[in-house]
Structure 1
Amino acid sequence: MATQHHNALTHALAGLPGPLPPSGVIHIAIPHPGRFTIVGNHLAQHTELSLTAIGIGVHIQSLPTGSEVGIKALASRFTEGETRIAAALRELEAHGYLSRTRVRLANGRLVTRTVFCNQPGAALRGGMVAAPVPLVAPAAVPAPLVTPAAVPVVAAPAPSPSPSPEPTPVPEESHPPVRVPSRTAPKAARRPLPRPRELTPELRQTASAILAGLRSHAKELVLSEDDVEALVPGVAAWLERDAHPDTIRHALTTELPQPPKHPAKIVKHRLTVLLPPPLPGAQELAPVRRTLVIPLQNCDGCDRAFRATAPGHCRGCRNEPTATAA
């Protein structure tokens, strides 16, 4: 079928008069005997409408009056989803091609009236107003010869049928704008790759060896030289916190997703999320020194309270005999 279309276009292209342009589109214009729609370039070449909005506008313009052009009807007809079709209809509304209003029918039912205008600019300039139909001038009836003068008889125009009253559109109630939350929650900022306090040559060498040897423990983790160079600070931060190389390999190679599409991103994520805390020092592990609290005692002489490790007399009672003896 594709070969037949190609041969037909080749024969039609050969019949075009004049030299053909070296680049760009070449039109083969064949008159339509029927089933065609006239579309203005102001819609087909609109500079502010999206391609989806232009396509839906052309499709709606080609449909007969009374066709369903709602979001669900268009979504069942085309491959675009309801969200994309709804956005395209809003674009057409914003530029005057489409109008959707809620009206109440005679039976009290509320419906959405959709109106599509093929030339919004002409409608704004008054181009949609119909021109008045001129009345036919009445013909004069010739009078008989016996009468002195002919009296013209004016024919009364035929009464035009009164148009049926259109349903009055019910204005929509004004509501404050409602902020609809997005379907997906905002993503948290990614944590940066951990880095050591000082990247010494020894740490760099050990970290590079661990990263380069990951493919020996997990064949999926094949890292390039640039990936190894970028991930060295993360492994060095683990080594600085006294993590054993076997511990690092086990954390990076176990329970990998299958198949791993981005090995470097997996290693970076695990180095960041699974970073162990630093080992506690001697000060953190030292036992807490308890403060000695001397209990309260009641003086045997004056019954006053004083602090002492054993019952007895307070300082005042102990000094009284000395003062009396003096």
Structure 2
Amino acid sequence: MAEEQSSAPTRASAGAPASGVIHIRTRHADNFTVLSNRLAQRAGSAVTVGVAAYILSLPDGASIRIDALCAHFKEGRGRISAALNELEAEGWLERRVERGPGGRIVTRTFVYDAPGRTADGDIPPPGPARPTPDEGPRAEPHAEHQDGRPAPEADPRATAVLASLRHRDVRLVLSERETAALAPAVAEWLDRGVGPYEIAETLTAGLPAHITRRPARLLAYRLAALRPPARVPEAAAQPVVPLQNCDGCDRAFRAPRPGRCRDCRASAVVSGPLAA
């Protein structure tokens, strides 16, 4: 006979610690979500952990666009967007643009409870894939200028954004030369305060059903045409005007130099003609 399962909270044992957290656990039969300790105990932003836990609790097909998340959480778009950027960078979240029924281009979002797996549940092989005979030899990682000087190394943040585009749309496969050429423009977006998640979303949103040219040319156009404005430098702090004691009434007032306060100056202006 099976052992009876109780849903009542488990009492703290007699050997419970005298300090620190003491768990009173309840056995859940339905309406619960399993989270890995890797996520629940993730160091850093509590917003990122909360957003991840909320997304994992949603049913398939639920919207996790920034607007939908902002309607649920009190945090603003900036913090929600930053949380999505962190989750995508760490592999908890992946967005792909694929061809749906009838040839429509649709965006599919995959959420992983264990990062490092593909949407098919397989663990990808480590290291770069070997080129097939049709691809020919890969370009050397360090490009050179036409005059033979080595080109500056691309910003790794920018190359990571460009590499993620192929997971959103399988047509956006870039060569190493194309990645090196596009990386400075992506780095400029990053320096202007746009996060990796938002950059990838902007570059892949509303792509045409048929791309008749190299995708690098399309991405280069979008990076130039949709370039965000530069960050406005913070205004210089205004100097604090010192406190002065009024020579007439001895009250404190702010002024760059000693003298009379506004009331005393106004009184002197009024009394002057009357005294005359």
TM-score normalised to structure 1 length: 0.43
Structure with higher Rg: it is 1
